Amino acid sequence: LDVGAGLGFLTRFLAGRCKTVLAVELDARLVKVLREQLKNLPNIRIIKGDVLKTEIPKFNKVVSIPPYHISSSLLLWLFNKSFDCAVLVFQKEFAERLIAHVGSERYGWLTVVAYYHVEVELLDNVPRWMFHPQPEVDSVIVRLKPKKPPPFTLKSKEFFRRLTRALFTHRNRIVKNAVLPIIKSMHLSNVEKIAESLPFHDKRVRELAPEDFGALANALTE
């Protein structure tokens, strides 16, 4: 799967090494170019549309330089799919968020959710001058491999993601205070009492390890 195939340089390279390549591109002008430039390569299937909203045939690997503005959404989309491996080019700052240490400046909800789903390896730096047109940021090649089994058990993956994302909007707060809006949105009574009873309620959000967020999510879905 090649997301954001653009002018097809990577797509053509993959076609020489893969049985089938799914090339997804949203821009109608680029789709026209792709169909013309790659028409003699029968193992390429060009799909016009937004990868996040378009039905994509089954795939086992992803090799792509996706548009940077969909990086987070693309990862969440991938985490709901079954695949063997993904090699993606991300903005350097974004890639560093995926492997950030607990409590560090770049540590956030994306770090936690990625930790649950995949092994992350930063393979190589890609300086900005290697792209045309040249972006304002440097990039990194990242390899993702799904964790089988995942590192901890969740009662609801969707709630885990939602809770983690919400808590990190108050990363410096104590958990029992940061979690109050979430408990209230669940229409539960004794909100403060529930917050006080949660594991790690007296720690700051940024101090919680990914496993701790899992324990919190499970406690709130009982």
The per-residue pLDDT for range 40-50, each reduced to its tens digit, is 999 999 999 99
Q: Are residues 137 and 163 in the same domain?
A: no
pLDDT for position 222 = 77
Q: What is the pLDDT of residues 119-144, one digit of tens each?
A: 999 999 999 888 877 888 999 999 99
Q: Are residues 48 and 130 in the same domain?
A: yes
Domain housing 205: 157-220
pLDDT for position 47 = 98
What gap in Å lies between CA 25 and CA 92, rounded to an integer? 23
Model confidence at 16, pLDDT cuts 50, 70, 90, reads: very high
**Is-contact 8 66, C-beta < 8 A?**
no
Q: How confident is the prediction for the chain on average, in pLDDT?
A: 96
pLDDT for position 130 = 83
What total of structural domains would you count in the chain? Answer: 2
User: Among 55-69, 90-104, 131-145, whose mean pLDDT is lowest?
Assistant: 131-145
pLDDT for position 220 = 95
Contacts within 8 Å (CB) and 24+ apart, 160-166: 160/113, 160/116, 160/213, 160/214, 160/217, 161/76, 161/109, 161/113, 163/213, 163/216, 163/217, 163/220, 164/109, 164/112, 164/113, 164/213, 164/217, 165/109, 165/113
Q: Are residues 90 and 17 in the same domain?
A: yes
Q: Are residues 84 and 176 in the same domain?
A: no
Q: Is the pLDDT of residue 66 over 90?
A: yes
**CB-CB neighbours of 125 under 10 Å:** 12
What gap in Å lies between CA 180 and CA 196, rounded to an integer? 10
Q: What is the pLDDT of residues 177-193, one digit of tens each?
A: 999 999 999 988 899 99
Domain end among 118, 146, 174: 146
Q: Are residues 35 and 62 in the same domain?
A: yes
CA 84 to chain centre: 15
The phi, psi pair for 169, rounded to 5°, reads -75, -10
pLDDT for position 81 = 97
